[in-house]
A and B are shown apart, each in its own frame.
Chain A
C-alpha cells in the first residue's frame, strides 16, 4: 500500500507543479527542480526495491532509512540555496531602494531648477 501512496503523492505534486507553472505562479526555473523531485518520488514509489538494493549494497539494514536520509539531505541543501538566494535578493532590493531614492531626489532638484528659472531667463534662451 505504501508504494501506491508514495507514487500518488509524487504524481499529485507533479500535477500541482505543472498547474502552478501554467497559471504563472511558479517560475519555470524553480518548477523544474520540484517537478524532477516529484517524478523521482513517484518513480521510487512504483519501484521500492531500488532503495532496498542500494541500502543492502551500502550495508544499511533498513532501506527506508537511506531514503529518509537522502531526502532530508536534499531538503537541507535546497533550504540553504534558498537562503543564499534570499540574501542576494535582499541586497539587490536594498540597493534598488537606495538608487530609486537618489534618482527621485535628482528629478526633484531638476524640476525645482526648471521652476526657479525666471521669465527673463526663459526669454534669453528663446
Chain B
C-alpha cells in the first residue's frame, strides 16, 4: 500500500458531488446545509430526474450537471469525478441527496485526506440497514476480502489519485458504486479507511436495491461474481492500462 498523497489543503480544494434522482424533496436542504458548513463547491449530478431536482439544486446554489440518460448512482457520481478532474479539484466528497448522510461529518472525512492518512475515506454506519443487508455485507466481505465496515456507503471522500483511478474507463464498467469501486482502488494500491458516522434514516423512499427480491438476487449475484473474479490471482496495476479508444 502506498502512502496517501496530501494534495488536499482545505474545503476550497474539495468538490462535493451529489448524484440525484428525483430528490426534489430533500436536495435543497442538503445543498443549503453544505453551504452552511463551508462547502461552497457543490455539484449536483441530475440523473435524468422526472421532477424539478435540477432547478431546486440550482436555486439552492449548487452547480448542476444533467445527464441525458439515466446512468445510475455510480454513473452520476463518476460524472462528478470526471468534472472534478477537468476543473482541477484535489478532493471529492460524494454523498447521497436524500439527506441520509450527515453534512457535518464531511469535515471528518476531509481531515483524513488532509492529514494524508488515506486516499479514500468511507463514512460508515454498519448499524443502519436491515438484517438482509447485513447478511449481504457478510457474504460480500468474504468473497472480496475487503475488510471495511460499510461496503455500500456512498458517503466517501477521494483524493486526487483516487479520483483519477475511479474516473477511469475501468470504473465506467462498474454498475454499482460499492465493492467494485473499492476493489478497483485497492488494486491500484490506494489506502482506504472508514470513519464511523451517524447516518439518518431516509426522509423519503427506501433503498433502491434492498426492496425487491429479484433486484436483491441480481445485485447479490452480480456483486459476488465480481468480488470473486477480481479477488483471485490478480496482480496490482503497475501502469495505466491502455483503454480501447475511450472518450475522456
Contacts and interface: CB of A to CB of B under 8 A. Distances in A.
Interface of A: 87-88, 91-92, 94-102, 104-105, 109
A98 B246 contact: no
Interface of B: 45, 63-69, 71, 75, 78-79, 82-83, 86, 169, 172-173, 244-248
Given A99-B247, A105-B66, 14 more contacts: A91-B172, A91-B246, A94-B71, A94-B75, A95-B246, A95-B247, A96-B247, A97-B68, A98-B71, A98-B172, A99-B82, A101-B66, A102-B65, A104-B66
12 contacts: A91-B169, A95-B169, A98-B67, A98-B172, A101-B67, A101-B68, A102-B79, A102-B82, A105-B63, A105-B64, A105-B66, A109-B63
A91 to B, nearest CB: 5
B68 A100 contact: yes
Report whether over half of chain A's contact residues are helix, strand or loop; otherwise say mixed.
helix
Nearest to A95: B247
Nearest to B74: A94
A91 B173 CA distance: 6
Nearest to B69: A97
A102 B67 CA distance: 9
Contacts, number: 53
B10 to A, nearest CB: 24
Contacts of A98: 67, 71, 75, 78-79, 82, 172
B172 to A, nearest CB: 5
A104 B69 CA distance: 13
Contacts of A97: 67-69, 71, 75
B47 to A, nearest CB: 10
Given A88-B244, A94-B71, A97-B71, A102 B86 contact: yes
A87 B173 CA distance: 8
Nearest to B170: A91
